[in-house]
């Protein structure tokens, strides 16, 4: 997730320099991807905790 965050910062500075529609679209999809990734991470963590507590 640290790697994703650095990519996000990179695109953030990029969109500040280039305010073209393509870059904006790229920024939005990168942001969305980041949100999905963290959401998936949370879901997997919760799921594994439920499964582990059920087995023990």
Distance between CA atoms of residues 38 and 29, nearest Å:
14
Which pLDDT value is given to residue 10?
76
What is the tens place of the pLDDT at every residue in 1-24?
A: 677 778 777 777 766 665 567 777
Q: Does residue 46 surpass a pLDDT of 90?
A: yes
Question: Exposed (0-12), middle (13-18) or buried (19+): which is 34, by Cβ within 10 Å?
Answer: middle
Structure-block tokens of residue 3: 């790697």
Higher-confidence residue of 42 and 12: namely 42
DSSP state of 16: H
Contact 8, 31 (CB under 8 A): yes
Mean of all residue pLDDT scores within the chain: 81
In the chain, where the domains are located: 2-55
């Amino acid at each position: 997730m640290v790697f994703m965050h650095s990519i996000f910062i990179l695109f953030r500075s990029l969109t500040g320099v280039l305010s073209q529609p393509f870059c904006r679209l790229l920024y939005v999809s990168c942001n969305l991807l980041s949100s999905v990734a963290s959401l998936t991470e949370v879901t997997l963590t919760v799921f594994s905790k439920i499964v582990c507590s059920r087995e023990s």
